[in-house]
Structure 1
Amino acid sequence: MDIQRAQEIAASPVMADVTMGQTQIYIQHVNEQSETCRIYPLDQPENEQDVPVSSLEEHV
């Protein structure tokens, strides 16, 4: 995924189908300078982490 698309998903009120590996995730915030996202797995909202934008995949 690229940084611009990650920002669009994070700002959208519509839930996008995004995964990191096999895990469905929610993008909370995008850091454009470091090209990372603050995410958490949908089934573990307490498990927040910063990951590279390039590690995310959108399924349409």
Structure 2
Amino acid sequence: MDIERAKEILQSPERIEVKYRGEPVWIEMVDETAEKVRVHSETNPQEVKIIPVYDLDDR
């Protein structure tokens, strides 16, 4: 995924399925400068990660 798509998903009023390594996640923040996103796991909301945006998949 690229930065622009991650921002679209973050701002969307609709729920868009996003996965990180096959696991469903929710985007909390997009850092354009670092090209990273902060996500939390949908199966374990306490699990928060900062990962490269390119590791996300919305297909």
Q: Secondary structure at the match of 1:19?
A: strand
Poorly superposed stretches of 4+, deviation over 6 Å? none
Percent identity over the alignment?
32
Q: Take 2:51 and 2:22, find their aligned partners in 1: how far apart are those partners?
A: 15
Structure 1 partner of 2:54: 54
Task: Return 5+ residue gaps in structure 1 as ranges.
Answer: none
Give the alignment of 1:1-60 within 5 angstroms.
Answer: 1-59=1-59
TM-superposed deviation, 1:2:
0.4
Q: Take 2:18 and 2:58, find their aligned partners in 1: how far apart are those partners?
A: 4
Q: Take 2:49 and 2:20, find their aligned partners in 1: how far apart are those partners?
A: 12
| TM-score, length of structure 2 as denominator length | 0.94
Q: Secondary structure at the match of 1:51?
A: strand
Give the superposed CA RMSD. 0.7
Q: Secondary structure at the match of 1:5?
A: helix
CA shift digits 1:14-58 (9 cap, x unpaired): 111110111011001100000000001101111011000000001
Q: Take 2:14 and 2:45, find their aligned partners in 1: how far apart are those partners?
A: 18
AA at the equivalent of 2:24: Q
| TM-score, length of structure 1 as denominator length | 0.92
